[in-house]
Amino acid sequence: MEAILAAAANIFEPSTLLVLMIGTVVGLFVGALPGLSSTMGVALCIPITFGMDPANALVLLGAIYTSSVFGGSITAILLRTPGTDASIATTFDGYPMAQRGEGAQAIGMALVASLVGGVFSVFVLLFVAPPLSRLALLFGPQEYVYLTIFGMISILGVSGGNPTKAFISAAFGLLLATVGFDLFTGYPRLTFGQDELFEGVPLLPALIGIFSVSQAISLCTGEADIGAGNMIKTKGRTLPAWSVIRRCGRTLFKSSLIGSAIGILPGAGTSVAAFISYDEARRRSKTPEAFGKGEIEGVAAPEAANNAVTGGSLVPALTLGIPGNAVTAVFIGGLTIHGLVPGPRLFTDHAEIVYTLIFSLFLANLAFAALGLFAAPWVARVVKVPSAVLGPTIIVFSIIGSYALRNSLFDVWLVLGFGVLGYFMERWRIPGAPLVIALVLGPILETNLRRSLQISGGDWMIFFTSPLSYAIMALIVLTLAYPVFARRQKNRREANES
Amino acid sequence: MHLKSSLAALAFAASSLAIFVSPSYAEYPEKPVEMIVPYGAGGSTDVLARLIAEYGEKYLGQPMVVVNRPGAGGQIGFSAIAAAKPDGYTIGWINSGILTSPIVRPDVTFNIDSFDYIANIVTDPGILAVAGTADYATLEDFLKAAKEKKLTVSHEGIGGGDHLAVLQLENEADVEFNLVAFNGDAEAKAALLGGHIDAIEGNVSEQVELVEDGQVKPLVVWASKRNADLPDTPTGKELGYNILASSSRGLGGPKGMDEDVVSKLREAMVKVTEDADFQADLKKLNMPLDVLVGDEYRAFMQEQDEGYKKLWAESPWQ
């Protein structure tokens, strides 16, 4: 308790608040620019923290981490350019909203959802961190297999009403996911001698190509005039009405829970959480057909989930020293630099600093919400920019972003290639989202499947041994069976009425 | 007045001429030195490079600029270093990847002889460890159990330093493990603590904290002398296994740099590594300083290279 009070005093030091604001602004930019990831933002700021006192250093890193996740959503909504894979799912409904001139509202909902998810996960971190991290260790490779399959169900939700085409798209994504060095045999697969493909098809160029460059090409050819030229009005207020928030309340809560839970698992990843929550929200919705066409709940779900991952992923990082993702791995590095060794004793030996970090995450959530609220109506006007200007601008930024990632010209060709692919897929009404989801989840599924089989010595029974596996399996079956079940009940109800 | 100002102008012209002419006589380095990092920004090699860059400017007299050239497990960056103009303005970070890649892929454009060795900076020895709750207290117990029942041991990808260390142990101790590949030490540690695998092969710095917590038990360190952080853990040599494994990071340049240039770079790196502030920062990063300069560094790489070539001849890993 004493530590909590001391931490509260720390956080309201003027210097700490200044650091918090700087970190938040830096994080927003890092998240919004496609060439920069949260990981790089945090990593590049670590040397700056050498001279700071530990509390301020952690506040800076924490603020960058949380706000960068939100920053990626702004461009995902307005330009269909997810800054990181965490905001892929946000484009599904955010971009259609922006096209209708409701970009500010979509950002407003993203903001509320991110705030809810972020704060929820901070509470998880604050109260139940140590016991939860023990639980997370129960997840072996075989459980990750089931979890990833669970995430892949979301492909059905973004099929655009044509499961066959979605299946083709996803299958192609899975094929692309097999490119690169094979950890288990030591051979490069399907790289065609290209060293640049040794580590697989880089995700961000694929992502930006399929989603934003394809759209930019449509803009240039005049096929997809955003909101019919400059006619559309960016209307209304940014913050969603209370009634809307209430309608989404269930989704917000559930997505926060999913995000926090998946964040705790090392090796699952932010995008898995976002996909599962999106699918969950769509499935439970009274109007699932509105999803993918600009349903505000479809923005709320992945946004709450991806920000909830932030606090969750710090649970195993702080309590066990095992990072839940790349960002927290760098984060641990930042901690040890300041003599804070992650582990069970961190909460007892350095309680004051840990609580300062937790409070700062809380405040960082408020800070990016305030900044976002201020900025949303302005940045949402981007849809008023004539297509002839916006299209080429998006392409230029996509090229710069993909080059910056690895200083490699190969990635520039890749982003353009995926752009053309995405453009034609759109013309032939093959949805691009399944491809991207498969590309993100494919490697996680494959490595864990093969790892399970390596552990069992090739015995497939390993997938039918633990109660945890059965639990996730049951969830998958329920999720798949639910629509059939719901339809039957609806039919029965209608039959009774008539 | 007129005369004075034209004199001044003349003097200025002369001095600028002197600046203009001087390069051919100038001493290295007269412009910033590029340092290629074969991995992405934010990785451990990158963090170390940026730290060296910060201190290096003071002792080299010119800024050191970090350039990330990630890809192909470091091969793209290694190739770029080996192929750079040997004028001392492009150097870069190398590791055991420059030894193992040419063995496995004869088409790569570099090998141990493609580089001039400046200095090794950091060596993180390999370690074999089990969960704190495991029944085995020593490597002998572990190997004995492994002969009765196949035990699972993690590594971080076929052909990596830790994978090769386990292969060498299999050969020398005449056991066979069930080898399982992981994407990094974090996932492997989670699997070890969760009881999904029996042992982990990794690097000392990644395990020290868990060892201090009692959650992980170290069995052996693959180094020629005992590790300062784990003074109670025997080395492989003490237990009769001639196995050396480590992840080391050092600076090299393309073969054929001027002797003067190389010795200036070596001198600067030695001074950086003697800087007390640098040492303190490195300790904070949990990176064990291990300075090997010039020929010493080359010999260190040579010894590993021979070990890998022998292993490849006996039991090729792919």
Kindly state the average pLDDT of the residues B41-58.
Answer: 85
Tell me what pLDDT residue B257 has.
94
Q: Which residues pair with B154 in a beta bridge?
A: B180, B200
User: How far does B9 lie from chain A, in Å, by closest CA?
Assistant: 44
pLDDT digits over B89-111, tens only?
A: 999 999 999 999 899 888 888 99
Residues in chain B closer than 8 A to A339 (CB atoms): 284
HSE-CB for B249 with a 13 A CA cutoff: 21
Tell me what pLDDT residue B152 has.
96
Residues in chain B closer than 8 A to A345 (CB atoms): 213
Tell me what pLDDT residue A1 has.
61
For chain B, residues classed under CATH 3.40.190.10 are 124-222
Whole-model pTM?
A: 0.80
CATH number for domain B124-222, candidates 3.30.70.3340, 3.40.190.10, 1.10.260.40, 3.40.50.300: 3.40.190.10
> Is residue B186 within 8 angstroms of chain A, CB to CB?
yes
pLDDT digits over A180-233, tens only?
A: 888 888 788 898 888 788 888 988 788 888 888 888 888 888 776 554 444 455
pLDDT digits over B74-86, tens only?
A: 888 999 999 999 9
* First-residue to last-residue Cα distance in chain A: 63
Are the C-beta atoms of A15 and A382 separated by less than 8 Å? no
Is it the case that residue B7 has pLDDT exceeding 60?
A: no
Kindly state the average pLDDT of the residues B139-167.
Answer: 92
**Residue A413: CB partners within 8 Å, gap ≥ 6?**
none
Q: How do the residues of chain B divide into helix, strand and coil, expressed in percent and rounded to 5?
A: 45, 20, 30
Report how far residue B276's alpha carbon sits from residue B274's, in angstroms, rounded to the nearest whole number: 6
Q: Which of B152, B181, B210 lies nearest to residue A321, judging by beta carbons? A: B210
What fold characterizes domain B31-123+246-314? D-Maltodextrin-Binding Protein; domain 2 (3.40.190)
pLDDT category of residue B24 using cuts at 50, 70 and 90: very low
CB contact under 8 A, B178 and A39: no
> Is residue B187 within 8 angstroms of chain A, CB to CB?
yes
pLDDT digits over B189-234, tens only?
A: 889 999 999 999 999 988 888 898 889 999 999 988 898 889 999 9
Residues in chain B closer than 8 A to A336 (CB atoms): 284-286
Q: Which residues of chain A have pLDDT under 50?
A: 227-231
Kindly state the average pLDDT of the residues B260-264.
Answer: 94
Tell me what pLDDT residue A69 has.
85
Q: Which of B71, B150, B195 lies nearest to residue A408, judging by beta carbons? A: B71
Instruction: Name which residue leads in pLDDT, A136 or B41.
Output: A136
pLDDT category of residue B50 using cuts at 50, 70 and 90: confident
Report how far residue B128's alpha carbon sits from residue B235's, in angstroms, rounded to the nearest whole number: 10
Q: Which residue of B has its CA nearest to A322?
A: B186
Tell me what pLDDT residue B224 has.
84
Tell me what pLDDT residue B267 has.
94
Is it the case that residue B12 has pLDDT exceeding 60?
A: no
User: How far does B275 lie from chain A, in Å, by closest CA?
Assistant: 16
Is it the case that residue B19 has pLDDT exceeding 50?
A: no
Tell me what pLDDT residue B25 has.
46
- DSSP 8-state code for residue B234: P
Q: DSSP of B262-274, one letter per residue?
A: HHHHHHHHHHHHH
Tell me what pLDDT residue A231 has.
46
In sign, the C-alpha dihedral spanning A159, A164, A165, A171 is: positive
For chain B, residues classed under CATH 3.40.190.150 are 31-123+246-314
- Strand residues in chain B grouped as ranges (E): 33-37, 64-68, 90-94, 115-131, 152-155, 178-181, 199-203, 216-222, 246-254, 289-293
If DSSP codes are grouped into helix, strand and coil, which group holds residue A26?
Answer: helix
Question: β-strand B33-37 against B90-94: which pairing, if any?
Answer: parallel
CB contact under 8 A, A336 and B190: no
Tell me what pLDDT residue B186 has.
78
CB contact under 8 A, B190 and A407: no
Is it the case that residue B126 has pLDDT exceeding 90?
A: yes
Q: Which residue of B has its CA nearest to A342?
A: B209
